[in-house]
Amino acid sequence: MKVIYTDNNATTQVAPEVLEEMLPYFHELYGNPSSMHTFGGSVGHKIKEARAKVASLIGASPEEIIFTSCGTESNNTAIQAAIRSYPDKMHIITTRVEHPAVKNLCEYLSKNGYRVTFVPVDRKGRLDVDYLYENLTDDTAIVSIMWANNESGVIFPIEEISRTVKEKGVVFHTDAVQAIGKIPVDVRNVGLDMLSLSGHKLHAPKGVGALYVRKGTKFSPFLIGGHQESGRRGGTENSASIVGLGKACELAVDHIEEVNTRIKHLRDKLENEIINTIPNTMINGDRKNRLPNTTNIAFEYVEGESILLMMDELGICASSGSACTSGSLEPSHVLRAMGVPFTAAHGTIRFSLSTYNSEDEINFIVEQLPPIIERLRKMSPFWQECQMAS
Ligand code: PLP
């Protein structure tokens, strides 16, 4: 069975060009980049090249890039670095819709002496920036706001927020894991101190990420160890994956244009055909300001997990909007923060496309989905009630 993969916000396929670039660094070129000999040094040289490519994608200088193991490590490093650099400041600002890599760390810190402000979003997933500004104080150690939301795809006004945060002299970090490679990001236009990115969201392998730290930003390492990454992150470099991340960033420069045209066209086609052919469906999130590859669709009165299972039988991969915790299917914290009604949040599916999706795949999904929803609704007591009431 052919797999139709529309779950690219979860992870992406490693691009063939990326894999090809990486392969020698597993077997032939296995030297330690820190070694004095030429053999190891050649790997060090390739890492230097990769650092320049990552920097170039976001308009940074190579010295401002620290390689990490993933987006989660980059986020943890950024927030911990800020609170350690400003030990007298006990307040953190973030949002109610962050990825657990920020949300759970902030919740942990809130139980350990920090006061955390979680900025709300509206029904369309847009950030309440005034609430953010009102809560900035002299005690704020860091503001950490994601660039784009992984579930709804909604893009936050990072450039605008950075102006106010920097006027106050507060450290500003953004989790740009979902934005990088999908929309243009240039740190020269934004008053950012730190930015996180992750390889496996942009066709590089899993297990590699990066943290941009603006020159002059106070920093203290999260992983204390060797002198790697100029003493800012100990641990022998994951050479092959770093080389892969460099190549993926190089490719992303070309992909961004394509994501904004071809992939956006496929996303719009998928979403419009679903909305127009299946009753009681709605888009969660601000349709005017979203990642071009993402759509988050609520199919009212059915369970997202059942839709996923039936699509899975046809080889279609997507995500639901529920977190399967303690046996109950709770809608995700993002959908709850957006105030998506219970009957819609439970039946929410996220499709996230990539450069490897085709029009034929989209046609297949829009053909297969209506009978799936119809079958599930026939079994749904909520749907029967809704039909009787109308
Ligand atoms: N931040 C966002 C917005 C994400 O979507 C993800 C992964 O889904 C992460 C952080 C974590 O990245 P990683 O899987 O590389 O740790």
Condensed to tens digits (0 to 9), the pLDDT of residues 186-201 reads 999 999 999 999 999 9
Q: Which of 97, 150, 173 has most ligand 1 atoms within 8 Å of CB, for mutation? A: 150
Q: Which domain range does residue 343 map to?
A: 4-10+256-389
- Ligand 1 centre to CA of 388 (Å) is 43
Q: Whose CA is nearest to atom 10 of ligand 1?
A: 71
Please, which residues have CB within 8 angstroms of residue 114's CB and are 6 or more apart in sequence?
Answer: 83, 90, 91, 92, 106
- Distance (Å) from CA 387 to ligand 1 centroid: 40
Clarify whether residues 274 and 237 are in a common domain: no
Would the pLDDT of 3 be above 70? Answer: yes
One domain for residues 77 and 148: yes
Secondary structure, 3-state, 82-147:
HHHHCCCCCEEEEECCCCHHHHHHHHHHHCCCCEEEEECECCCCCECHHHHHHHCCCCEEEEECCC
Least confident of 62-76, 204-218, 219-233, 314-328: 314-328
Say yes or no: 157 and 236 in one domain.
Answer: yes
The type of residue at 369 is: L
Q: What is the pLDDT of residue 329?
A: 73
Percent of the chain residues past pLDDT 90, beyond the cut: 92
Q: What is the DSSP letter of 203?
A: T
Residues annotated as catalytic are 324
Q: Where are the alpha helices (DSSP H) in 313-358?
A: 333-338, 342-345
222 and 197 in a single domain? The answer is yes
Quote the ligand 1 centre to 220 CA distance (angstroms). Answer: 22
Contact 12 CB / ligand 1 (< 6 Å): no
Expressed in angstroms and rounded, the spacing between residue 372 Cα and the centre of ligand 1 is 30
Residue 165 and residue 131 share a domain: yes
Structural domain total, the chain: 2
The residue whose C-alpha atom lies closest to atom 12 belonging to ligand 1 is 71
pLDDT of residue 327: 53
Answer yes or no: do 125 and 141 share one domain.
Answer: yes
- The number of the ligand 1 atom at minimal distance from the alpha carbon of 74 is 16
Let me know whether 74 and 178 are in one domain: yes
Q: What is the CATH number of the domain that holds 274?
A: 3.90.1150.10
199 CB under 6 A from ligand 1? no
Q: For residues 306 and 351, give the distance between their C-alpha atoms in angstroms, rounded to a whole number.
A: 15
Same domain, 129 and 243: yes
Q: Are residues 203 and 224 in the same domain?
A: yes
Looking at residue 326, its pLDDT comes to 46
Q: Which of 232, 252, 272 is the last residue in one of the domains?
A: 252
Whose Cα sits closest to atom 7 in ligand 1?
10
Closest CA to 126 of 92, 164, 90, 153: 153
User: Which tokens hold the place of 193?
Assistant: 């101190």
Single out the residue in 229, 252, 275 at which a domain terminates: 252
Per residue in 249-265, pLDDT (tens digit) is 999 987 888 888 999 99
209 & 297 share domain: no
Q: Please state the atom number of ligand 1 nearest to the C-alpha of residue 72.
A: 16
pLDDT per residue over 134-175, tens digit each?
999 999 999 999 999 999 999 999 999 999 999 999 999 999
Nearest atom of ligand 1 to the alpha carbon of 146 = 3
Longest dimension (CA), the chain: 78
Q: Is the CB of 205 under 6 A from ligand 1?
A: no
Together in a domain, 71 and 122: yes
150 lines ligand 1 (CB under 6 A): yes
Considering the entire predicted model, what is its pTM?
A: 0.97
* Nearest CA among 184, 194, 187, 161 for reference residue 73: 194
Whether the Cβ atoms of residue 331 and residue 345 lie closer than 8 Å to each other = yes
CATH number for 167: 3.40.640.10
Are both 246 and 278 inside the same structural domain? no
Q: pLDDT tens across 19-54, in order?
A: 999 999 999 999 999 999 999 999 999 999 999 999
Residue 389 predicted with pLDDT over 90: no
**In contact, 34 and 347? CB cutoff 8 Å:** no
Question: Chain-centre distance of CA 312, in angstroms?
Answer: 23
Q: Which of 236, 252, 268 is the last residue of a domain?
A: 252
* pLDDT score of 243: 98
